[in-house]
Structure 1
């Protein structure tokens, strides 16, 4: 069979074609991106500076913040560029690269939440051996294990490179995601669909089931804690993580496992916005609001900065 000529670029139709609404969306997305960067950078900085936060839980939280910065940087800058551009095009190579990075970032985030659930399980169910069990070597191995999600992205991207795109080239989405690229193919994509669904189910269960098992043990242990304050603190820490799990998994799994026949463009866009744009922004906000130790660490840094500013002003006068 003669190979058909592939398109060299795609057109991302985006959320809206209304010029006035595009300006509004640009401002909203810019604010979200800045909040995401600043919020996660503050978390990383606070954990780095405050010696009281030098424990495994906050090591994983700082890793998650780094990942959130990377995740949002994969999607939002391209969206901002398209909102200001008339053409709204992206090269085929750039589109495939973004597809790979989105799958890698999203899947890695799921595994990181699984790692954090295991960390909470050890901290609450076996507190006396927590530090020895979650040693530096173990922490690095767990983070490295989370990064094996690149296999999911690599397998699906390599299969995507074997697909012919000979037109149309309009992607009914604001970013290059695999479920929106495959319908544009002019060749059979059954193998791609099967592999994508298999990878989503396999990697999804590999990260989600350990979270559920960890929380069954965590809740069982918390309910046996006699101290009201200890129970409240344990629930507070776990509730932050559980909210983060819900934000990512519900939207991502519905997006990648739904049937195309029941698909709604508005629902699709809302789901994608939730797990690829809002989740990286909300993670540090949720964690800082629910975690007193992070709040205290931030306040200490602010007090030090205020004192430093006051001392500098006095020295100048």
Structure 2
């Protein structure tokens, strides 16, 4: 008699507060054709995990309700097994990856995770596994948002929420593209924003964000990457005919003054993730916790004030 291999995972049983998170023991997942099974060494806790757990994504029509919902998008670990047809990776290789399917019963909060090979990339060199896990979702979100803006080198861009995980990557990537960055950040984070390349910093609590930005950049910036969900307040800082991209669902403003407005929806992209991993971006870990303390991690993230990301370690 063959004994079926099992693994531990943390999932949401129904929807609500952190108390709906619970550990389960389930069969070890098997990779199908074109897929990779990863032994998870680190899984990042992101704001979207809290929204998923609460039922916010169900309420927004982004996923169907289910009794058990998988939580967690980011993963860093080691290739355990390969599905047929996968030649880009090898067992034992350290990798990172992104799960972008919402409606699933198991996520990255687990000991093993199966992803399409096209969603996986070699892990960045010379960083901890926890730090590597913070890159996929937030790094790709920043990269894809900047692509939507389509700004040429020398253009100016406002990044709201520049001290956050997406905002920090956005500032660094914008500077690498030759853009001049106005970062929105609080007083305690001004030094960080400047250290990663922001030319100007405006206060997070500015009563009139657009006026502050236009004082620094007369006429307004060429584009805005709104990671803080400010909507029309960010758009008002953009010149007529410019561009604005938001990463917070439902916060995209109307395209006033001929401004191109984009709502960025993340997609897994292993090739782009490999490029990000090779860039040496600033990776920030706020702390690590065992997988079983996922509810505590959700509480800490919801309380605010965290810089970087909390990471679960199975």
Higher relative contact order (CA 8 A, sep 6+): 1
TM-score interval, smaller chain = under 0.3
TM-score for the superposition, normalised by structure 2: 0.25
Find the structure with the greater CA-based Rg. 1
TM-score for the superposition, normalised by structure 1: 0.24
**Structure that is richer in helix per residue:** 1
**Structure that is richer in strand per residue:** 2
